[in-house]
Structures are given as C-alpha cells and as structure tokens.
C-alpha cells in the first residue's frame, strides 16, 4: 500500500455544504487508469482529480479528472478545486501575474489566483465554447423538455465547450426556481443529441448575482448539477455573442467589464456562487471560492 494525501472540498462556496463537492488525490504517481477510475467510483462524488508532476514546459502541475463512470477531459469545478489544493500543499505558486497553469487532456489552461486563505478566489480560463445551432422552443427535440416553462427572449441554443449543453432562457427567476424537470424528456434530449442535457437560466434582481441557473443532466445519469463551472462558461460565451452580458451598474464590481455572478444549486440543497468573466479577448474565466472539508490520506492498493 502507498499512502497518498487525500482531500475533499466544496467548490464555488464560502462554507462547507454550499458548493459542489470534489475529491483530490495528491502524489498520484504509480496509479494506473483502472485504479484512478476505481477510486473515483468509490468516492461517488461528481469528480475526483489526481495530481501529477507536470510534463509540459510552463505547466505548474498535471491533472487527470474522473467521474464515477469515465475520465473527463475538462470540468470547471475540479480545475478550480485542484488548484486550491495544489496551492495549499505548496506544490506550485502563482507567477507575478497571479497565474497557475494546469496541464491536462484539454491542454494547458491558466488559472487566475486572487488573494489568500478563506477569501481566495481562483478562476480557470475555460476552453473556447461555440454555438452549434440555435432553434425555436417548438423544436421536436426540445418540446417535451421545455413543456410548461415560460421562456425568455433569447432562443434555445446548443453550445459546445468540450461538453455539449442545450441552453434555454426562462422568463424570470421564479419560473426557474419552481421548474420541475421532466427527467424522461431531458434524458431523451441528451441521448438523441449527444449532449449533457438542459441548462436553464434567468435574469435575477438579487444584488449578489445577475443570473440564476439550473443544470439538468440527462445522460449517462439523471441528476441536477449543484454547480458547474464549465456549463456556466458556455452560457457566458453565448451571452457575450448576443450582447447580453451585464453592463454598467449591473456589474458586481464597477469598472470590471464582462464580469457577473450566478447562483446555482439551491434546488438540490446547495447555494453556490460562481464568478464569470469574459475578457477583452473573448475568453471566459469561471471561478470562485473553495472550502476544505476533509483532509487526510487514502490507502489504495498499488
């Protein structure tokens, strides 16, 4: 047996229980694909990440991500949470611009670190997302999944940001909060279009966040995601392309153009806040705070 450092975190949260859980295994050298998949299956968390020394010039560390079912090329909350662990463990330090560089299947991705300790925020520059197609609410593929929901002004769109999501704007936050997904319809949509499922969003008048969102995953399992940095990044890219990002006083920090916050997870017992930033190059940064919950060792057969 080899004892490896093991942590469980809450990502996009200022307190345990509010965000999206993540397991991180440090000192992962010596674990093969089957062992990593077995550990991820055992944790039963949305994702488990494994940290290795970097192999690419300029990288701060190397990461592999696994859901309980398969390896994941990229996801937002595992990227942000793993960077937090790497910093806490002293395995890497941000450069003079506050950047770390994550090496993984998705390539070299920078993460921007601001502050220290409990108030530190970390944001990952997400892979470029693109609109695959826009459609209408009466599209036969979407009709059942959207039935009974009052929709907003922007059309439904299929976005690809490494993972593919159908995005649909709802009329208001109350509609979003009370929506009861038709899981058979969401699963059928996901399977027929080879997507994760349906991501719905609505404008909010809350002073903390500008949008409220919900992510209904239809395949391979059926569940509502507590907080998804990658899915929210596809929404940010879509809003930017439509000129729908908050402007002026609607921005949470005056003078920080293209920045807004979302609320996600209340309907499944969480209360995540995710920061989105569309920079001057059109890149989307997705991030927030991270809380430590479990800190110990994992004893797994070599």
Supply the mean pLDDT for the chain: 95
Q: Which residue has the higher pLDDT, 1 or 289?
A: 289
- The predicted structure's pLDDT at residue 23: 98
Whether the CB-CB separation of 113 and 99 falls below 8 Å is answered with yes
For 84-95, how does the pLDDT look when each residue is reduced to its tens digit (9 = 90+)?
999 999 999 999
Look at residue 248 in the predicted model and tell me its pLDDT.
Answer: 65
Arithmetic mean of pLDDT, 99-127: 96
Pseudo-torsion of CA 50, 73, 68, 186, nearest 10°? Answer: 150
Quickly count: other Cβ atoms within 10 Å of residue 256's Cβ: 10
What's the pLDDT tens digit per position in 14-64?
Answer: 999 999 999 999 999 999 999 999 999 999 999 999 999 999 999 999 999
Which tokens go with 177?
């909060």
Q: What is the mean pLDDT of residues 140-145?
A: 98
Lowest mean per-residue pLDDT among 104-113, 170-179, 243-252: 243-252
Q: What is the pLDDT of residues 259-289, one digit of tens each?
A: 999 999 999 999 999 999 999 999 999 999 9
Residues in the chain: 302
Is the pLDDT score of 135 beyond 80? yes
pLDDT digits (tens, 9 = 90+) for 168-191: 999 999 999 999 999 999 999 999
Listed in sequence order, the DSSP H helices in the chain are 33-43, 76-89, 143-146, 173-178, 183-193, 229-241
**Confidence at residue 255, expressed as pLDDT on a 0 to 100 scale:** 63
Q: Is the pLDDT of residue 249 over 90?
A: no
Give me the pLDDT at residue 301, please. Answer: 86
pLDDT at 125 over 70: yes
Residue 254: pLDDT above 80?
A: no
Q: Which residues of 58-74 are buried (b: 16+ CB within 10 A; e: fewer)?
A: ebbbbbbbbbbeeebeb
Place of tokens 């920090």: 253
118, pLDDT greater than 90: no
């Amino acid at each position: 047996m080899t004892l490896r450092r093991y942590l469980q975190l809450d990502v996009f949260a200022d307190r345990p229980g509010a965000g999206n859980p993540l397991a991180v295994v440090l000192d992962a050298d010596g674990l093969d694909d089957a062992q990593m998949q077995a550990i991820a299956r055992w944790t039963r968390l949305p994702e488990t990440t494994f940290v290795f020394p970097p192999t690419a010039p300029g990288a701060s560390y190397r990461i592999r991500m696994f859901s309980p079912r398969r390896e994941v090329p990229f996801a937002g909350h595992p990227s942000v949470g793993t960077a937090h662990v790497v910093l806490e463990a002293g395995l890497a330090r941000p450069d003079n611009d506050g950047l770390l560089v994550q090496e993984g299947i998705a390539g070299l991705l920078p993460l921007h670190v601001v502050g220290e300790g409990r108030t530190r925020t970390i944001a990952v520059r997400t892979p470029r997302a693109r609109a695959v197609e826009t459609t209408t609410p009466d599209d036969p593929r979407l009709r059942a999944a959207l039935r009974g929901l009052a929709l907003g002004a922007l059309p439904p769109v299929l976005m690809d940001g490494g993972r593919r999501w159908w995005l649909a704007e709802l009329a208001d936050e109350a509609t979003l909060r009370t929506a009861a997904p038709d899981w058979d319809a969401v699963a059928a949509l996901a399977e027929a279009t080879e997507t994760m499922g349906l991501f719905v969003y609505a404008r909010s008048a809350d002073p903390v966040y500008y949008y409220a969102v919900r992510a209904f995953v239809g395949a391979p399992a059926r569940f509502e995601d507590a907080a998804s940095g990658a899915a929210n990044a596809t929404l940010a890219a879509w809003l930017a392309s439509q000129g729908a990002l908050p402007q002026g006083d609607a921005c949470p920090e005056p003078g920080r153009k293209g920045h807004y916050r979302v609320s996600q997870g209340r309907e499944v017992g969480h209360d995540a806040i995710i920061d989105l930033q569309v920079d001057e190059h059109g890149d989307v940064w997705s991030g927030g705070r991270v809380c430590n919950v479990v800190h110990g060792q994992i004893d797994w057969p070599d």
